[in-house]
Amino acid sequence: MSETKVSERDTIKQRVIKLLALTTDRGASEHEAMLAAEKAAELMVHYDIEASELNLKPPKAVMETVVCRKYGSMTIGGPIARHAAQLCDCDTNLDPQDADLPEVWQRTLKTVVFFGMPSDAEVAAYLFDLISNAIVAEIEVYKAGTDYQREIGAGVNGRTAITSFVAGMEARINERLDEMRAQRHQAVQEATGRALVVVKETQIKEDFAATGIKLTRGGGSYRGRGSASANASGRAAGGRVSLSRGVGAGRSTGALR
């Protein structure tokens, strides 16, 4: 192979690395990340570049903590944490603090921990926080609407209606997060043959083991069967919430798009 071709190949490899890095870059939206992964896959196929040639070495994993929102005594978004974490290639658990104490002694506010690559963990925490806020906002919209008044008029307890509404929202949002994850992972796997995903998973496990922290697995909140019509209203609201993985300037200034 000529020196010119070698130089060109090295240049292309550097371009591929940058494109793959964009899938976890802080400024990249989900759409931009998908396009970057697809372009990286095209270049790797065209130039016959193997994933092992790219030396993909992610930074050390970090931990991001988010306080769960509450509506009355109900914790919001618990079931969503795992799905948001999976979308962002992270692990998630309950905050280890107080986890070994009896429930009556634990803090009223629950927190969720996301553990992963720096930008991935930040995005997961940011996304979970914003989705939780969106659910609280949609509850108020629902309570002011005719669907809720119809439930009350039919004899459904107000708390039951709200709980069923939230369960429907969470279920629909989880479905959408899983769909986004499947699309993203397909693009990344086509580009790297799962190499990038495996490297991340291995790094996260090693870095977490090194912390010596023991987290408590959260099974999510059980909402019960409740009202089918209120659940359907919640699913409709969950389908309206805009989802984005881009964090922009950070969790404090970002917005769902």
User: So where are the chain's domains?
Assistant: 3-53, 62-240
Model-wide pTM > 0.85: no
pLDDT score at 253: 35
pLDDT digits (tens, 9 = 90+) for 83-113: 999 888 888 886 655 555 455 555 556 788 8
Helix (H, G, I), strand (E, B) or coil at 237: helix
pLDDT score at 47: 81
| Rounded-to-integer distance, Cα 180 and Cα 27, Å | 18
Confidence label for 233 from pLDDT (cuts 50, 70 and 90): very high
Torsion sign over Cα 222, 208, 107, 84: negative
| Rounded-to-integer distance, Cα 30 and Cα 131, Å | 16
pLDDT digits (tens, 9 = 90+) for 6-17: 578 888 888 887
pLDDT digits (tens, 9 = 90+) for 48-87: 877 767 766 555 778 898 888 889 888 898 889 999 998 8
Long-range contacts of 175-181 (CB under 8 A, 24+ apart): 176/238, 176/239, 176/243, 177/80, 177/83, 177/84, 177/86, 177/87, 177/243, 178/83, 178/86, 178/87, 180/30, 180/87, 180/243, 180/245, 181/83, 181/86, 181/87
pLDDT score at 235: 96
Between 14 and 252, where is the model more confident?
14
Is 188's pLDDT higher than 80?
no
